[in-house]
Amino acid sequence: MEAAFKGFGPKALPFLKALDFHQSREWFLENRDLFEQELRDPMGDLVDTLTERFSAAGLGLRGDRKKSLFRINRDVRFAKDKRPYNRHLSAILSPDGSKAVHGVFYVHIGLEGCFAGVAWWQPEPALLLAIRRSIAAQPDRFRTMVAALKKKGLELDTEGCMKRTPRGFEHVEDADLVAAIRNRHFVVRHVIDPVGIHGPELVDELVDFTLRAKPLLDWGRAIEAEHA
């Protein structure tokens, strides 16, 4: 591990606020050192530290201080919003350390809020269908997972859910199962107090959240294994 996480710099969020105001490559290049010192390098340290802690906890999630970070630059090729820079910095830890798999941990430090998530986000159609079929065919296993999350103070996010039940699941009648089958993502979130991003205690907070989210990880991984 290159360096233990000590916290994001005191100017991390003010830097993002200034970058959002200027949205200028020239301004960013002039202030790159501040970005690296206050945001990028601490995020790399956080990824390294969480990789070590997640391994010790048997969570099966890891990352790389460079490859796990998302770029601060926005891809504006097909976007109506042509601002060149994001209002946040984020990173992902996953079973194989890449961004191309599901069942991941995500951390987001930004002007619109700071939060972490454990998620199957936008699973490809075959996996999403397998998840939905599992909910319909094994409702007890799904409900056990939901109950375990609730006991730990977490619940599945319903953002972006479908308004209608997808084709092939019209026979499902129980309201909780219908709501779950309409989900496009399977996510639990943890809100981070921005005041708390500046110290090493954030690591314990994020490890605790991910351990509480483990029922979702285990449930999704079991479905993946059955339909591999």
Which pLDDT tens digit goes with each residue over 86-144? 999 999 999 999 998 999 999 999 999 999 999 999 999 999 999 999 999 999 999 99
Say what the pLDDT of residue 80 is.
78
Confidence (pLDDT) at 160: 86
Alpha helices in the chain (DSSP H): 12-22, 25-30, 32-35, 41-56, 125-137, 139-151, 175-181, 201-212, 214-226
12-226 is classed CATH 3.30.930: yes
**Predicted TM-score of the model (pTM):** 0.94
Q: Using H for helix, E for strand and C for coil, what is the string for 179-226?
A: HHHCCCCEEEEEEECHHHHHCCHHHHHHHHHHHHCHHHHHHHHHHHHH
Model pLDDT, residue 81: 77
Confidence category of residue 78, pLDDT binned at 50, 70, 90: confident
**Mean pLDDT for the stretch of residues 177-203:** 97
Are the beta carbons of 134 and 223 closer than 8 angstroms? yes
pLDDT at 117: 98
Average pLDDT, the chain: 95
What pLDDT, on the 0 to 100 scale, is given for residue 77? 77
The whole-number pLDDT of residue 179 equals 96
40-67: pLDDT as tens digits: 999 999 999 999 999 999 999 999 999 9
CB 20: neighbour CB atoms within 10 A? 15
Segment 165-190 shows an average pLDDT of 96
pLDDT at 76: 72
pLDDT > 70 in the chain, percent: 99
pLDDT range class, residue 159, cuts 50, 70, 90: confident
**pLDDT over 80 (residue 175):** yes
Query: pLDDT at position 82, please?
Result: 81
